Amino acid sequence: MSGAGSSTDLAATFRRLIERHGPMPVSRYMGENNARYYAARDPLGSAGDFTTAPEISQMFGEMVGLWLADLWNRSGRPDATYVELGPGRGTLARDALRAMASQGISPPVHLVEGSESLRKLQADTLSQAQFHDSIDTLPEDRPLYIVANEFLDALPIRQLVMTERGWRERMVALEDDRFVFAAGHSPMDDAVPEHHRSHPIGTVIETCPAAAATVEEIARRIDIQGGAALFIDYGYLTSQTGETLQAVRAHKKVGVFDAPGEMDLTALVDFATLGEMARRAGPAVNTATQGAWLSAMGIDLRAQALTQRAPDRTEELARARDRLIGPDQMGELFKVMALTPRGAPRGAGFG
């Protein structure tokens, strides 16, 4: 498992690379950190580094499952597949599939997961699951019902910074053996979206080519094959500037250079841009805050039903509900984005 050793190793590798080849792009720093970070551990839960919505309560996965089942039913119950990107411990899939089974739907399960150790956990929970390294190998001959919770935020972002000489890629450099940010040498003005070009010096913007490629391909697949996709993540619905890269370790924010390979690096998801791209690829796109969506999906009724069945869990269920939908907790910061094929029924819960 993890330990101080491997952290030192990746930090040492980064130092060597920078000494030899010069500063490295933030995207590479983030990508290699997360590949190392996820490869060898279960980052979730109280003994890990962070907690996600499905780990807070079964109600989250159940609402997702009911959302999928509703669309599935309204599309005439096709022969289709459940797909999840970055399924963590498999908790969301387990809860969603149970809720779908209650509606008479028990699809085959396809999981896109990069981490070997998480694949093992997922296979324990979902014995019949098939694994994929990327979305490219997902079935092409039937509708896909796709879920991704806190997946896009872990994909490497690129940072661009406005300097006196125009836009530059933001890099990780060394200063007396310490990692620091620095502006790259090549002009990057062409990589900056038109509406962001004329910002003051020092402005940082983020783009996420990997998230864009993922959402675009899924949008294309949904439009052609049918099905639906639900992306849930912390992020923003209207375009913004500023750096949002952050590191979390043992449930605390730490500096992004503190422990290469031993901390989770994430950035806010730009749903404004991703939604626009998805729409251009064909599908209808709907967005909402997590709080509004879960409320519209009936989380309060579900909490009541569970409470009636287990009165000793009353407080725990109320706390979980508040964490998921409270405006000062996950309710406002987290957003839900749904893709459905042009002309097909719209997903529930979007007002």
Q: Which residues bind ligand SAH (CB under 6 A)?
A: 34, 38, 44, 52, 54-55, 86-88, 92, 112-115, 118, 149-151, 154-155
State in angstroms the smallest separation of the CB of 85 from ligand SAH: 7
- DSSP string for residues in 131-179: EESSGGGS-SSS-EEEEEES-GGGSPPEEEEEETTEEEEEEEEEETTEE
**3-class DSSP assignment, residue 340:** strand
Sign of the torsion formed by the C-alpha atoms of 25, 118, 289 and 322: negative
Contact by Cβ (8 Å): 153, 214: no
What does the alpha-carbon distance between residue 90 and residue 79 come to, in Å, rounded to a whole number?
22
The nearer residue to ligand SAH, 7 or 115, going by C-beta atoms, is 115
Choice between 192 and 294, CB closer to ligand SAH? 294
Q: How far is the CB of 195 from ligand SAH (least distance, A)?
A: 28
- For 217, counting Cβ atoms within 10 Å of its Cβ (0-12 exposed, 13-18 middle, 19+ buried), the class is middle
Q: How far is the CB of 139 from ligand SAH (least distance, A)?
A: 18
Q: Which helix (H) or strand (E) holds 121?
A: helix 116-125
Query: Please, what is the minimum distance in Å from the beta carbon of residue 146 to ligand SAH?
Result: 12
Closer by beta carbon to ligand SAH, 55 or else 62: 55
By beta-carbon proximity to ligand SAH, the closer residue of 150 and 206 is 150
What are 20's two structure tokens? 């030899």
Q: Provide, rounded to whole angstroms, the least separation between the CB of residue 127 and ligand SAH.
A: 18
Contact by Cβ (8 Å): 172, 254:
no
Q: Which is nearer to ligand SAH, 45 or 78 (CB)?
A: 45
Cα–Cα distance measured from residue 236 to residue 330, given in angstroms and rounded to the nearest whole number: 13
Which residue type sits at 110? H
Please, what is the minimum distance in Å from the beta carbon of residue 74 to ligand SAH? 26
Residue 3's contacts (CB-CB under 8 Å, 6 or more residues apart) are none
Q: By C-beta, is 75 or 91 nearer to ligand SAH?
A: 91
Q: Which residue is nearest to ligand SAH (CB)?
A: 86
183 vs 288 by CB, closer to ligand SAH: 288
- 57/75 with CB nearer ligand SAH: 57
Q: Minimum distance from CB of 312 to ligand SAH (Å)?
A: 26
> Least separation, in Å, of the C-beta of 202 and ligand SAH?
30
CA distance 172 to 178: 10
